[in-house]
Amino acid sequence: MQNGQLKPKKEKISRTKIAEQPAGLRVNNFNEVELGYSEDEAVRESSRCLMCKIPKCIEGCPVEIDIKSFIAYIKEKEFLKALEKIQEKNSLPGVCGRVCPQEDQCEKVCILGIKDEPVAIGKLERFAADYAKKKLESGSKAPGAAGSEPGSFQTSDKSSPDANSGSSSKKIKVAIVGSGPAGLTCAGELAKMGYDVTIFEALHSPGGVLVYGIPEFRLPKSIVQEEVEFIEKLGVEIRLNAIIGKTFTIDELFQDGYQSVFLGTGAGLPYFMDIPGENYNGVYSANEYLTRVNLMKSYLFPDWDTPVKKGSVVSVVGGGNVALDSARTAKRLGAEKVYIIYRRSEVEMPGRIEEIKHAKEEGIEMVFLTNPVEIIGENGWVKKIKCIKMELGEPDDSGRRRPIAVPGSEYEIDTDIVVIAIGQGPNPVLTQTAPDIILNKRGNIVTDQKTGKTSKKGVFAGGDIVTGAATVILAMGAGKIAAEAMDEYLKTGKW
């Protein structure tokens, strides 16, 4: 290139940092770690977007949010319009902006990411959701929302003229089993299409893993509640304490007039390691540990009734987000030392990069290439965890290098709480009572990928119950695909 032809260089703006609670402070509370963008920061970050003609980011999003358009609205300070744009595709923006692994999705394919850091799409999505929430709380008239009252954005979906009109007795009834991300999304979509939607939830609060699994410091429960209320405002009824497979069977739902059923029951069955000593007092599944703390609020014991064992040394087994959440929870409950014991090395950890970083800042100690072989007890309580060192061999089916035990390398770690976070499988309570739904050998429901159709007429499924434990946004994508297929089925009767 010749010198004379240099164009005036556009000033490079680096990715806008997000404010966070300092590590030393946040380990003493369950408040959210990331504090979110201010209006100025959001506008600044959105101005980094190149407004690509063919935006790759949209393809990277499992529910194909019109990212370019919503970012353009933020840039113009039309924050509520930005949210409306997101809500066309995504009913849980406050959740997704926080917990999606954007580094593997929208932000992974952002063109800026080739030479620089990608646009902070997730944090902008979160900003839009939080901005509207704040406006709603303050009750002031929102700027930019032309002619709309505060809060009206929540039901402003213009593509759904039937959604809240017409006699409900004429509406076709559909049932959604499970109120996690897949079920909520499917329900929201069907309600917008004009169906009479009922969600059946086994627990006493809706949200699935969003309420019992992901901790408050990563996803405040008030956000989940708001987004569930948004779905309810679309006309969806949520029946709590209703366990399909026990309280009702799927066939009974059909007898009761439901024309189609979506199963979004998730991967709620905890796996244990099947090693000696796993039933000693002080050994938890991550599901139990996190349910006690998040859903039952045992971090507020005795103001809330459910207890949880605190312990001064906590060992968490596993390397995913559930392990990271458990370890960081243990720290906040007052543990002096928290270990994450993972059989592979750091690069293979399936947890989000951001959360691994947060965990390290909070003083969680990572013990890599190590696998527990036995839990040693004393008087019925956990005392030590015996581990063996591992080395990495050839890649396995998952593409990750297979860990192999090093003979004779066993050693013991003193610990008084062990949390097992090695994965979850499908809960069989529902499928046991529906023998006509075909399962694979892992117990997941077999579906047609394009529609979510199961082997039982009128029954669709999606999310972790089909894929095994995956991400919130993939479950939402599956809920959305199924909603469209259910609409098609209900209109045509074709199976």
Q: Which of 304, 354, 361 lies closest to 338 in space, CA to CA?
A: 361
Q: Looking only at residues 403 through 432 of this chain, which bind other proteins when binding is defined by CB under 8 A?
A: 427-429
Chain position carrying tokens 């996803």: 219
Q: How far is the CB of 317 from other proteins (least distance, A)?
A: 14
CA dist list (Å): 365 to 301, 319, 337, 357, 358: 27, 12, 8, 12, 12
Q: Looking only at residues 308 through 337 of this chain, which bind other proteins when binding is defined by CB under 8 A?
A: 309
116 versus 278: smaller Cβ distance to other proteins: 278
Options 41-49, 155-163, 274-282, 441-449: segment touching other proteins (CB under 8 A): 274-282
294 versus 321: smaller Cβ distance to other proteins: 294
Q: Which of 420, 425, 353 lies closest to 385 in space, CA to CA?
A: 420
56 versus 297: smaller Cβ distance to other proteins: 297
11 makes contact with other proteins (CB under 8 A): no
Options 140-148, 192-200, 253-261, 300-308: segment touching other proteins (CB under 8 A): 300-308
304 makes contact with other proteins (CB under 8 A): yes
36 versus 266: smaller Cβ distance to other proteins: 266
Structure tokens given for 486: 């259910």
Options 59-67, 110-118, 178-186, 297-305: segment touching other proteins (CB under 8 A): 297-305
Would you say 274 and 231 are in contact if contact means Cβ atoms under 8 Å apart?
no
Q: How far is the CB of 278 from other proteins (least distance, A)?
A: 7
442 versus 450: smaller Cβ distance to other proteins: 442
Q: How far is the CB of 188 from other proteins (least distance, A)?
A: 24
Would you say 37 and 45 are in contact if contact means Cβ atoms under 8 Å apart?
yes
Binding mask 161-200 for other proteins (x = CB under 8 A): ----------------------------------------
Backbone angles phi, psi at 388, to 5 degrees: -125, 145
241 versus 312: smaller Cβ distance to other proteins: 241
The site for other proteins, by CB under 8 A, has a size of 38
203 makes contact with other proteins (CB under 8 A): yes
439 makes contact with other proteins (CB under 8 A): no
Please identify which residue in 29, 152, 247, 312 interacts with other proteins, judged by CB under 8 A: 247
Options 83-91, 126-134, 241-249, 405-413: segment touching other proteins (CB under 8 A): 241-249
Please identify which residue in 116, 278, 354, 374 interacts with other proteins, judged by CB under 8 A: 278
CA dist list (Å): 3 to 6, 12, 344, 479: 6, 20, 51, 55
Sign (positive or negative) of CA dihedral 352, 353, 358, 362: positive
Please identify which residue in 8, 139, 302, 408 interacts with other proteins, judged by CB under 8 A: 302
Q: Which residues contact 175 (CB under 8 A, 6 or more apart)?
A: 197, 198, 199, 200, 253, 258, 260, 261, 262
Please identify which residue in 11, 149, 303, 397 interacts with other proteins, judged by CB under 8 A: 303
395 versus 428: smaller Cβ distance to other proteins: 428
119 versus 382: smaller Cβ distance to other proteins: 382
221 makes contact with other proteins (CB under 8 A): no
Options 24-32, 148-156, 164-172, 299-307: segment touching other proteins (CB under 8 A): 299-307
Backbone angles phi, psi at 70, to 5 degrees: -70, -35
393 makes contact with other proteins (CB under 8 A): no
204 versus 357: smaller Cβ distance to other proteins: 204
Q: Where is 417: in which H helix or E strand?
A: strand 417-420
Query: How far is Cα 477 from Cα 302, in angstroms, rounded to an integer?
Result: 39
3-state helix, strand, coil in the chain (%, to 5): 35, 15, 45
Q: Which of 87, 12, 80, 91 lies closest to 42 in space, CA to CA?
A: 80
Q: Which of 103, 152, 137 lies closest to 123 in space, CA to CA?
A: 103
279 makes contact with other proteins (CB under 8 A): yes
Query: How far is Cα 335 from Cα 344, in angstroms, rounded to an integer?
Result: 24
Q: Are strands 269-270 and 411-414 parallel, antiparallel or unpaired?
A: unpaired
Query: How far is Cα 186 from Cα 475, in angstroms, rounded to an integer?
Result: 10
List of residues contacting other proteins (CB under 8 A): 202-204, 240-243, 246-248, 268-270, 272, 278-279, 281-282, 284-285, 287-288, 291-292, 296-297, 301-307, 309, 380, 427-429
